[in-house]
Amino acid sequence: MKKKYFGTDGIRGEVGKYPITPDFMLKLGWATGRVFAEEGDGFVIVGKDTRISGYMFESALEAGLAAAGVDTKLLGPMPTPAVAYLTRTLRAKAGIVISASHNPYYDNGIKFFSTEGTKLPDELEHKIEHFIDSPMSTVESAKLGKASRLKDAGGRYIEFCKATIPNTLGFNGLRIVVDCAHGATYYVAPCVFDEIGADVISVGVEPNGLNINDKCGATKPKFLAEKVIEFRADLGIAIDGDGDRLIMVDHKGEIVDGDELIYIIAKSNQKIGKLQGDVVGTLMSNLGMEHALKKLGINLLRANVGDRYVMEMLKKNKAIIGGESSGHIICLDKTTTGDATVAALQVLAEIQQTGKSLHELKSGMQKYPQVLLNVRINKKVNIDEIEEVTKAVKAVEKKMGEKGRVLLRSSGTEPLIRVMVEGENISDVNKYANELAEVVKKAI
């Protein structure tokens, strides 16, 4: 059954426009409380990123949960993966994150975690939606929920992150620039890398409620690249606003994306005999990663775009490493969700254990040129059922053979058909992408 409010990653939108409004968040908190109150006593933890609207929605959710008779532990600004970790280790009924991830400050949203630290199952989201559309009531005064601040939530998470790499590794002398996008990791991430002994230069650590993801962080890694060169650092780490996406920069100022980082982590795990199963990417993962992993005897599985689908495929195939080129990297042997800080630590550990630079580690994978064009449409279509388009795609695929790839898909958020072509030769890739975009335009 289709969900009314929940998307692939919670509920998200522009602040002030339904459903990202205070009254809806009050009802959402109450509905969530009703669902989890049915499962017995316990509490819900609530964390947020640094955008200004987080204060408003935190209060609304807290009030709704209290009205349903559920206690709340407030974490304040805390990375999304930290909320997942704390939900699990504190045995909370659920975890709620107030964040719009890599979006600008005027957006916000809500993500949920189960008591296991994973995304909520569909059945619970459907239950919550049922109560959202039901009349709101309040438990008797003696049974109202209470709210309290969880002390040292950041410290607990910092210790967890450090424990994901061997404590015998020393990082003295390693100079790194850490860009926290003025987001939820602004305090904890620099602490993690400082406490393992690295020489840390922190940027993007002065949130004011409006500057989250603004020209910095994992979605704007050129800022980090400039800083790495400026400070003559060994590498840079860029994290997005809620702390689940990672992009890195090598000492030459070259950007190292999620595909390359997944390759490095998978290769490292294979070397020490800890890689379980295949590696999971998405339909957008670069063909170069697939070929590089194949040379190592590792198979790449492709899930639909979105971390929820990557996670589903990881679990289905009993695999542990997966993610997206955008930098959402999941190390299931370490934690239960995508975690930029944890993923970065795995890469740093490999650098120290091999004595190789990030630039050298990524050189085992050669990215193929990739061109992505958007074709705007005015009606919903199934692109796979348009004969002239499928013929054109097959023709291009035949020309490129195993040295190229074509993907046409509808955007999940905009009225667009995305035309992606990748291959060895950039001029051919450009040519084929433009040809296919024209075929799509004419056909629609």
- The per-residue pLDDT for range 37-61, each reduced to its tens digit, is 987 789 999 999 999 999 999 999 9
CA 359 to chain centre: 24
Domain ranges of the chain: 11-150, 174-256, 257-367, 370-443
Q: Do domains 174-256 and 370-443 have the same CATH topology?
A: no
Share of the chain above pLDDT 90, in %: 91
pLDDT at residue 383, rounded to an integer = 85
- Domain 174-256, CATH: 3.40.120.10
CATH architecture group of domain 257-367: 3-Layer(aba) Sandwich (3.40)
- Domain 370-443, CATH: 3.30.310.50
Give me the mean pLDDT over the 58-76 stretch: 98
The pTM score is: 0.94
- Domain 11-150, CATH: 3.40.120.10
Share of the chain above pLDDT 70, in %: 100
Lowest-pLDDT range, 45-49, 73-77, 110-114, 438-442? 438-442
How far are the Cα atoms of 238, 255, 307, 339, 346 from residue 175, in angstroms, in the given order?
A: 14, 17, 31, 22, 16
pLDDT at residue 233, rounded to an integer = 98
Give me the mean pLDDT over the 378-406 stretch: 90
Residue 212 has pLDDT above 70, yes or no: yes
Q: Which of 101, 114, 325, 326 is catalytic?
A: 101
- The per-residue pLDDT for range 156-203, each reduced to its tens digit, is 999 999 999 999 999 999 999 999 999 999 999 999 999 999 999 999
Give me the mean pLDDT over the 21-40 stretch: 94
- The per-residue pLDDT for range 329-344, each reduced to its tens digit, is 999 999 999 999 999 9
Q: What are φ and ψ of residue 400, in 5° steps?
A: -85, -25
pLDDT at residue 432, rounded to an integer = 96
pLDDT at residue 412, rounded to an integer = 65
Task: Check if 101 is active-site.
Answer: yes
